[in-house]
Structure 1
Amino acid sequence: MGNHSSSHHEPGEQQSSHNTNSAGISGKQPSRTSSDANMTRSPSGADINEKNFSQYVPIEKLSQILHSKTQSQFGVNGIVCEIFVTQLFPNYSDLGTRIFKQLHANSRAKTKHLGTVAFKQQCERYLALMDDNKILEVYVKLYGEPTEDPEKPDFITSDGVKRLLLTCYSIAMAHSTGNGVGALCPQLDRTLNSVVKSIFFSQDSLSLGFVSRWFEQNAIRLVLLVHKYCVHTLTTAYRGLEQSDGFDGGSGLELSTPVLDIKNPFSDSSSSSTSDAHSHKIDDSLMPLSQAWLLAGTLPPLYSRPQAVSSPTANKSTSSAVQIFKNKLAMIPSHWALLYDSDDHGVGANRFLHHVLGYRGPTLVLLHTRDDQTYLIASPNEWKETHLYTGSEGCVVIQLLPKFVILEKKPNILYLNTSIRGYPKGLRAGADPRKPILSVDEHFEKIDIKGIQHELISIEVWGCGDPSSREVQLDIKKWQIKEAERQRTVKLTAADWMDHPDRYLLELGGRQNYNN
């Protein structure tokens, strides 16, 4: 966060500022010394040595509104925490309180409130955060615990990390197209605990640096969405507050959180005739919404943002530079569609191939074992049967339960073969063909994880592409059905039948006479 200068001061600060700068009024400017670098501050936390404070209009207006509300309700010449939280973060009071305390601590104010100048200075420094790693450190510290011993670094507890994750989840769900449906996820606590177990193991607290590095390597986008929401709030809240209708909590903000679509595009008419209540209900055995949120923040962005399927008939004008720029900035949530569920479609290699092959988009394969473990294979490409290991950048193997662990993240680690002789059969994932991390047998009944065999009880496959991916797969399935019907109803002439191999087979079976 960069420092800004100010020529505007609060009451009681002008005289101090004048005395500080009087030495440079006549003659040469004094050279900067180490004592000059340490800025003096007003009791309310403003840097009174600073000049040329750039008035950022949204923050300027916001500080004036909060100052007037504080003065009218509390009679304080400044901004208090209660007004900051209730006006800007009414739905996330814990987050708002922690942010205000951080702004107050950074300003080193001696009063309980923040002066308007100090508030503007700290908000601008907060908005000036651009580096992802710095943003991550700020939010981990936000939920950390200060140490009483100045020689020991600050730390964060497992409860603090869980609170941070809960804030990330709540904000993401409230601003997805589901609009608050995330609060209904029954598996939320289990999902958060899997992440906490992965970070802390058996420890109760860890250093802020260690936790920051874990998020940086595994789930940095979860935290970055919170910062996006906070920046959006600080820069747009003044509009609603000026109109006296209150801040709406950033309802216009869209975050890249997937929305699970459990409708199977290849279900028959009998299954589609079920009640609407059942069709919109997510089964407990399927991937919960909180787990989808976690995967959207940890997997590469191609899984949470729909990727268009290339088509020769597509409009070429959509690939213009302006459209590409908009697509990169877009935060439109994708809809993950259930392609295969072994509980409904049956267990077996042929059932897996029937529902998964032909889907031209990224897919997520979830494998559930009898001993309550869940593993994920993320494929960025279309699944194909081959004796070679395939997969481009974006292939990931993850343990979801009981702990969240990214096991491998490399290209060319996926293998699927059920028919080619002389090669291992089944589904595999891992960089070493001799010792794959995860291996499913050819009957899709057993799963071998790092050399330990488990019983496989269910499989889910979710498609992460855009709707055209499902439409392409649906067209392929329709073509296959028509082709099979056409081959079954081939009409033969009498001359063709006389030389047909089926005729000789029937004669060998004892049937000599035929009807015309």
Structure 2
Amino acid sequence: MGNQHGSSTGNGNSDQRRSSAFDKSKQSSMSSKAYTGSLIKLFEKIEITSDAGNSHPGEISQSTFENVFHGPLHKFGKLMYRQMLNGHSNRDRITKEQFVKAGKEILKTFNESDQQKYYFKLFAAGKDVLTQEDALLMIQVSYALTLSASKFPYTKSDRDDRVFTAMVTSMFGIAEELNYESFVSWLKWNCPHMFCGVHNWVYLILTGSTLPSELETAPVPQLEGFVDGRYCLSMGMLWAMSATLPAAYTHGQTSETPANNPLITSYHLIMKLARLSRCQSWTMLYNSSDHGLSMNRFTHHVTSYHGPSIMLVSFEGRNLYCVANDTGWRDGPDKYGGEECMLLQISPVYRVIQSGEKMMLWNVHTRGLPMGIQIGKMSSSIVLSIPHEFDSVSHYGVACTLNKVEVWGCGGSSAKDAQTKQKQWEAKDVQRCAQRKLNLESKDWNENPDKQILDWAGIKGGHSYQRE
């Protein structure tokens, strides 16, 4: 009986597997047909832009293909053309069949591992290694494409160039070339979502529609009231951080994501189950240039904000650090911080220094312990320490001149609204207490309850106390 039961169950599982395989095959076929139609339409649109006319129907010349890509993307067009011809850059035309086949290969790279392989090969121009020049182009193009996919106007400043150079320095060290394994190792720790914006843009171009929000891994946050050049934060820096920081800083709270749902096994399940909210906006909480380098002012502006936030610390030596705090600022004698806390050095080298729990210490009131802000998981080797006076910063124990501090709230409008309401309640409570004290002082001393307490102690009332 037991064996019969087991056999029956096995047949059922087998039937389920065949049904599942059929469904996946059917879904894949449907996707393939949709992609084919979109790619053919795109090919025909590009084909009619040929300056020389349509002398070769069903084919696109290399120059026609590359001219679709303008400005900072022109070099990307050259690399894309070569990639779509599988490295045969000596061919000066691409057929409709080649274009559709290559486009479908790109559109199937949904997971980040496949994207990393594809775009490494693309930017390496068919080589087995990246040069520093290749890597810088990769970063610059990834930034430009991400802005375009996020519908931000393209902008790039000298500070962005410094960030991009810092990323290349971090990636290569003293080496002149980087193989795929070393590149992926660097990406995994320092910038895991570099190609998300690139793939979003490519998906948009090839299909004529935006990548479903369920698949957007690292959108660039909106900055409320941002003026480029006024803050430590720049657009290039914002892009780099959005490709590095955990989703808590760029997405809203979500009850179910691909990372924690074991049922998600395919693109179509992701489409149905992973309801990621749109990108959060970041809002300025504290800016030392406007509010002053002061612990009191810092405390006033960051308390009662319970969403995640990032703090930028600029100090001598062109050093710029980002402290990503996932739990809100907590004054006390104990270290705090959740799993998504992170400390990044942005310049002169872009790298993740530490990440994980209990990395933050902010002590304003507890006596007997160092006052100020300390960042670092090991008490014996604190990375950053800002004293209560806010007049310097200790960097691995070396005192440095503190230039600027910024705190951006990453919890969206709900976290900022909650902070505003709390601040308003606190202001009203202070006003009520002041009014109550004023009323008590203005009353007849003989009717004041404090007089009776003093009388019981044998002290005569009035402002001149005399004991009997």
Who is 1:116 aligned against?
96
Who is 2:291 aligned against?
345
Q: Deviations over 1:412-465 (max 9, x none)?
A: 211111111233322112221232222222322232222322222221111011
**1:157 has 2:131 as partner:** yes
Who is 1:19 aligned against?
none
- Mapping for residues 143-182 of structure 1, pairs under 5 Å: 143-146=123-126, 154-176=128-150, 179-180=152-153, 182=154
- Mapping for residues 453-492 of structure 1, pairs under 5 Å: 453-490=399-436, 491-492=439-440
Who is 1:14 aligned against?
none
**1:214 has 2:186 as partner:** yes
Who is 1:398 aligned against?
344
Who is 2:451 aligned against?
498
**In structure 2, how many angstroms separate the alpha carbons of the residues matched to 1:208 and 1:225?**
20
Question: Which secondary structure state, in structure 2, belongs to the residue aligned with residue 375 of structure 1?
Answer: strand
Who is 1:102 aligned against?
83
C-alpha change, 1:408 and 1:481, in structure 2 (3 Å) is same
Who is 2:314 aligned against?
368
Q: Deviations over 1:4-34 (max 9, x none)?
A: xxxxxxxxxxxxxxxxxxxxxxxxxxxxxxx
- Whether the 8 Å contact between 2:203 and 2:211 is mirrored in structure 1 is no
Measure how far apart 1:342 and its partner are.
Answer: 1.6
Q: Which amino acid aligns with 1:192?
A: F
**In structure 1, how many angstroms separate the alpha carbons of the residues matched to 2:362 and 2:422?**
20
**In structure 2, how many angstroms separate the alpha carbons of the residues matched to 1:509 and 1:200?**
78
C-alpha change, 1:73 and 1:213, in structure 2 (3 Å) is farther
Who is 1:447 aligned against?
393
Question: Which secondary structure state, in structure 2, belongs to the residue aligned with residue 183 of structure 1?
Answer: coil
Q: Deviations over 1:330-362 (max 9, x none)?
A: 4x3432111111222122222211110100211
**1:205 has 2:162 as partner:** no
**In structure 2, how many angstroms separate the alpha carbons of the residues matched to 1:406 and 1:428?**
17
Q: Deviations over 1:369-423 (max 9, x none)?
A: 1332111111011211122211112100111111112100111211111111233
**In structure 1, how many angstroms separate the alpha carbons of the residues matched to 2:412 and 2:423?**
18
In structure 1, the gaps of 5 or more residues are 1-53, 148-153, 238-249, 263-279, 309-320
Q: Which amino acid aligns with 1:155?
A: V
How many pairs align? 405
Q: Deviations over 1:491-510 (max 9, x none)?
A: 22523242478xx9x99997
Q: Deviations over 1:59-85 (max 9, x none)?
A: 244445555666972522523222323
Question: Which secondary structure state, in structure 1, belongs to the residue aligned with residue 161 of structure 2?
Answer: helix
* TM-score, normalised with respect to structure 2: 0.77
- Whether the 8 Å contact between 1:136 and 1:216 is mirrored in structure 2 is no
- Mapping for residues 233-382 of structure 1, pairs under 5 Å: 233-236=205-208, 256-262=219-225, 281-307=227-253, 325=273, 327-328=275-276, 330=277, 332-382=278-328
In structure 2, the gaps of 5 or more residues are 1-31, 255-268
Measure how far apart 1:102 and its partner are.
Answer: 0.9
**In structure 2, how many angstroms separate the alpha carbons of the residues matched to 1:109 and 1:474?**
58
Measure how far apart 1:473 and its partner are.
Answer: 0.7
C-alpha change, 1:251 and 1:59, in structure 2 (3 Å) is closer
1:419 to 343, 347, 365: 365
Measure how far apart 1:322 and its partner are.
Answer: 12
Measure how far apart 1:512 and its partner are.
Answer: 7.3
Q: Deviations over 1:224-269 (max 9, x none)?
A: 22012112211228xxxxxxxxxxxx7999972122224xxxxxxx
- Whether the 8 Å contact between 1:144 and 1:208 is mirrored in structure 2 is no
Who is 1:430 aligned against?
376
- Whether the 8 Å contact between 2:149 and 2:201 is mirrored in structure 1 is no
Who is 1:245 aligned against?
none
C-alpha change, 1:497 and 1:333, in structure 2 (3 Å) is same
